[in-house]
Amino acid sequence: MRIWLLRFAHGSCNFMRASTFTIAKDRIGAVRDAIVIAIVIIIEKRIKSTVYRVLQQMRVEGHVNPRPIPDRPRCTSAEDDELLRNLMQANGFRSAQQTVVEHNLNCSAKIVRRRWREQGYHHRIPAQKQALTENHQDQRMAFAFEHLAWENEWENTILCNT
């Protein structure tokens, strides 16, 4: 089977024969992927060596999947992550910036917030409780005085005006 690639050169569109090799029926899907990737590379005006590298990978490895890229190393160690978890459990209202400054961590506050999110702690805005009006306070006091004589159920209950 011959593979033809669409090439854009100097504003004109023409075909060029990129490679000639025999393809088994079970590899046709992978070849289609290679052709699509090669066409995209050419359309994006990448250099020719990229196209040849993709085709070479198809010939040698039988696929055109990108090679894995190693992850960037984490700036916090497992001990730092455990420290952040313990600090959040001890005081859920502490800020990330405060944590970085107090414990001399070798990372930014953004990283601390990211580690807390990974551990399941999410930033939440506390609910605002409606302020009590004088009418509410009067109703509460009336309820308290009305039920003050109840001995069975309210004997161990403390009523307050806050």
Residue-wise pLDDT for 96-122, tens only, equals 999 999 998 889 999 999 999 999 988
Contacts of 103 (CB under 8 A, 6+ apart): 83, 87
Residue the block writes with tokens 């070479």? 56
What pLDDT shows up at residue 101?
92
pLDDT band at 53 (very low <50, low <70, confident <90, very high): confident
Q: Where are the domains of the chain?
A: 23-61, 78-119
What pLDDT shows up at residue 17?
42
> Is the pLDDT assigned to residue 66 strictly greater than 90?
no
> Is the pLDDT assigned to residue 132 strictly greater than 50?
yes
What pLDDT shows up at residue 24?
45
Q: Reduced to 3 states, what is the DSSP secondary structure of residue 124?
A: coil
> Is the pLDDT assigned to residue 35 strictly greater than 50?
yes
Q: Which range is least confidently modeled, 1-5, 43-47, 146-150? A: 1-5
What pLDDT shows up at residue 9?
40
Q: Which of 3, 17, 14 is nearest to 58 (CA)?
A: 3
Q: Which of 135, 134, 154, 153 is nearest to 144 (CA)?
A: 154
Average pLDDT of the residues of the chain: 74
